[in-house]
Chains A and B, each alone.
Chain A
Amino acid sequence: EDQVTQSPEALRLQEGESSSLNCSYTVSGLRGLFWYRQDPGKGPEFLFTLYSAGEEKEKERLKATLTKKESFLHITAPKPEDSATYLCAVQANSGYALNFGKGTSLLVTP
């Protein structure tokens, strides 16, 4: 059975304090690993797709990396507007439905 575990559950950073969020996964054949950002009361917003180990993607202060067992979302010099819940999901070769982790709630204080 596919499993996705995100850590930590919650993270509080000061503005400018870089850190990383972890997503550990087990899946029977990975089609893709996805990162989303979700603001309170809103639908998830797509950030990145990673397809194979060693792949990296960047967008502004965010960088996602992938190994065969986990993915990291690195946040460099975060700003208060980066505060949100970050969701990780895997998609197996057997289908297109995404299996989500429980998310990491990030709070960046000025």
Chain B
Amino acid sequence: DGGITQSPKYLFRKEGQNVTLSCEQNLNHDAMYWYRQDPGQGLRLIYYSQIVNDFQKGDIAEGYSVSREKKESFPLTVTSAQKNPTAFYLCASTGRGRGNTEAFFGQGTRLTVV
């Protein structure tokens, strides 16, 4: 089955620690995205990548970093510079061309600072 796989489902981070969230897709989509979801805030864009080896900052990129070395993979690192990382993180991908630009989402990673 084609889809997006995020791991882990739950992640706990200690103060001052960097953690990396995994996102893999087998939909052959060019573009991939990371969103953050907080209660009452909706989904906010962190980073996005339209092609391999290229990515752009979204609305709330501070304290996060990404890489896009392979078309299928778009990992997100939450660094110690992110002061309030506790949230639900969602990875998505889209194709190109009319009729193929809806975003498909993974099942999310819930990150908690302990």
Contacts and interface: CB of A to CB of B under 8 A. Distances in A.
Interface of A: 31-32, 34, 36, 41-46, 49, 51, 87, 89, 91, 95-103
7 contacts: A31-B101, A42-B107, A46-B104, A97-B33, A100-B43, A101-B42, A103-B42
B37 to A, nearest CB: 9
State which size class the interface on B falls in.
Answer: 20 to 34
Contacts of B45: 97-99
Contacts, number: 60
A61 to B, nearest CB: 20
Interface of B: 4, 6, 31, 33, 35, 40-45, 48, 50, 58, 88, 90, 92, 94, 96, 98-99, 101-108, 110
Contact of B103 (A46, A51, A95): A46
Contact of A51 (B43, B98, B108): B98
Contacts of B6: 43
